[in-house]
Structure 1
Amino acid sequence: MKKVRFLLVFILFLACKTNPFTGKSTLNMYQNSDMFPTAFAQYDAFLKSNTVITGTADAQRITEVGQRIAKAAERWLSANGYPQYLRDYRWEYTLVEDKTINAWCMPGGKIVFYTGILPVCQDETGIAVVMGHEVAHALADHGAQRMTAQTLQQAGLVAGNVALEKDTDRALFNAAYGVGSSVGVMLPFSRSHESEADKIGLKIMAIAGYDPAEAPELWRRMKANAKGGTPEILSTHPSNDRRISDLTQWVPEARAEAQKFGITTFQ
């Protein structure tokens, strides 16, 4: 058991890295070289099995907004002492035919928008809200952090089973651990990533010249399009109401950040 505890402490020590956007230590034991090749391969496989939209005004707009947001992120990173941060990233922005109201980003900068989210975005600035959020996930290494958390969750399960000798005790522990680690740790961890991506994305879109005040408006439209919903405590995402409230409070900070780069008017 002492060896297990030592291993967990050692893993936690190695996994601590600093998030350049928040200045906070994060759990991340994976390097870009560990994550990006696999992510790029999964992205390519996804595109081969889905309908990619090319040559349309919408597809072009997705790419143009993505490039503008990524350039803004590069400006922020260079200005804050991280000029080489994006050297391994391979940005790509793809529109896929799917009625689902969703967009996502793989580690390393591979981003997919579903056509179903475009009516909710409404215009270029709405697309920038979603794009900023997705780009922020990639910038903050959220994919690697999730994998690290899953690894530690599994290590905790193994440690508990090693420590307990009776099968009945192990069964009770496994049941309690599964629910407790999910609801008490993993889901809040995921929600914190979504909120962090919202905040980082808001600043980046503002630096790119898009009005951050559009972000809470987009989430009001998201709320209007929502069908039912999972209670926040059981969800991987914050509630729509929480996101609207948080984004509204963060708008002045995003505008102030943009002013540092000479951006005083927004579209």
Structure 2
Amino acid sequence: MKKILLLILLLALSACATSPTGRSQLMLVSPEQAISSSKEAYVQTLQPLQDDGKIDSDIKVSNRIRLITGRLIAQAILLYPDTNDWEWSVKVIDDPETVNAWCMAGGKMAIYTGLIDKTKASDDELAQVMGHEISHALANHTAERMSVAMASQVGLMGLALAVGGNEYGSTILAGSTAAAAVAITLPNSRTSEVEADEIGIELAARAGYDPRAAASLWQKMGEVGGETPPQFLSTHPSPDNRRETLTALADKVMPYFLDKSERPVYQLQ
């Protein structure tokens, strides 16, 4: 047990980072590890759905999402050049009852048809969804949530320490992949949500999408679930004044939207 506590302490002391908004972050998982683990988790998450024919089943919808997301990614790369090395990907999951979207570390994204159809989302509103999710990846929020998930792996880490050798590395890697998959279902902190709102609404405006759609989107989200909030809201804790905050942010980034310069599009493979 002492070895486990010592390991956690050493990891914590060496895991300081700063978010794009200047917030100090304490992470047990490095952004590089989060990206590597997310890549594996992405395949594991989507493969069963692919086998059932539930991935990109409507080419028209998929092309619509790819165009919107491609414009957002192009702006993300301009603002954060290191992300040009990410293996960006977006998939549409055919699930009419699930109102959700997510983005893992390294730009691995998915959106469910339930969100698109139940909210009757415009392109501007879908850009707010995907821009918000991309922003979680840009701000390394996946690594933060993975750190929470990996805390439950302390027992496995202790066992690996006791065994030693190569089994330690393989056990940690397996735990990391599982944590990456779990991370997309864990709620973000309110601080992380504020960051993703700020980054995402600017990203969408720079890509040519009306930032005022952020407020209308969240209103629709609240109406979709009735007494039971949709999954997207359950994993995105929202303060009561979120619409007002988004409206203020929209005013701030409106000049980017009004700029009529040509908008580049990242070509997703």
Q: If the length of structure 1 is used for normalisation, what is the TM-score? A: 0.72
Flag the 1:47–1:27 CA change in 2: closer, same or farther, 3 A. same
Q: Does 1:146 align with 2:145?
A: yes
What CA distance in whole angstroms lies between the structure 2 residues aligned with 1:223 and 1:240? Answer: 12
Pairwise mapping of residues 201-212 of structure 1 onto structure 2 (< 5 A)? Answer: 201-212=200-211
Is the Cα contact below 8 Å between 1:16 and 1:25 reproduced in 2? yes
Partner SS state of residue 112, structure 1: strand
Aligned to 2:94: 97
Shift of 1:199: 1.7
* Residue segments in structure 2 that go unaligned for 5+ positions in a row: 155-185, 264-269
What CA distance in whole angstroms lies between the structure 2 residues aligned with 1:242 and 1:188? Answer: 19
Is the Cα contact below 8 Å between 2:72 and 2:131 reproduced in 1? yes
* Residue segments in structure 1 that go unaligned for 5+ positions in a row: 78-82, 156-186
Shift of 1:151: 5.0
Aligned to 1:253: 252
What CA distance in whole angstroms lies between the structure 2 residues aligned with 1:253 and 1:12? Answer: 36
Aligned to 1:86: 83
Shift of 1:229: 4.4
Is the Cα contact below 8 Å between 2:76 and 2:83 reproduced in 1? no
1:106-160 CA distances to partner (integer Å, 9 max, x unpaired)? 11111101011113152211110101011111111111011224556888xxxxx
Aligned to 1:14: 14
Is the Cα contact below 8 Å between 1:66 and 1:131 reproduced in 2? yes
Shift of 1:30: 2.3
1:44-63 CA distances to partner (integer Å, 9 max, x unpaired)? 22222111125622100111
What CA distance in whole angstroms lies between the structure 2 residues aligned with 1:208 and 1:44? Answer: 28
Higher normalized contact order (CA 8 Å, seq sep 6+, divided by chain length): 2
What CA distance in whole angstroms lies between the structure 1 residues aligned with 2:239 and 2:213? Answer: 15
Flag the 1:188–1:93 CA change in 2: closer, same or farther, 3 A. closer
Flag the 1:226–1:243 CA change in 2: closer, same or farther, 3 A. farther
One-letter amino acid of the counterpart of residue 74, structure 2: K
What CA distance in whole angstroms lies between the structure 1 residues aligned with 2:4 and 2:41? Answer: 33
Aligned to 2:236: 237
Aligned to 1:180: none
Shift of 1:243: 2.5
Aligned to 1:63: 66
Is the Cα contact below 8 Å between 1:32 and 1:88 reproduced in 2? no
Is the Cα contact below 8 Å between 1:190 and 1:236 reproduced in 2? no
1:4-57 CA distances to partner (integer Å, 9 max, x unpaired)? 9876664333111111x2022212232343122321122122222111125622
Aligned to 2:132: 133
Partner SS state of residue 197, structure 1: helix
Is the Cα contact below 8 Å between 2:42 and 2:108 reproduced in 1? yes
Is the Cα contact below 8 Å between 1:94 and 1:113 reproduced in 2? yes
What CA distance in whole angstroms lies between the structure 2 residues aligned with 1:229 and 1:242? Answer: 20
Identical amino acids, percent of aligned pairs: 35
Q: Number of aligned pairs?
A: 222
Aligned-pair Cα RMSD in Å: 3.1
Larger Rg: 1 or 2?
A: 1
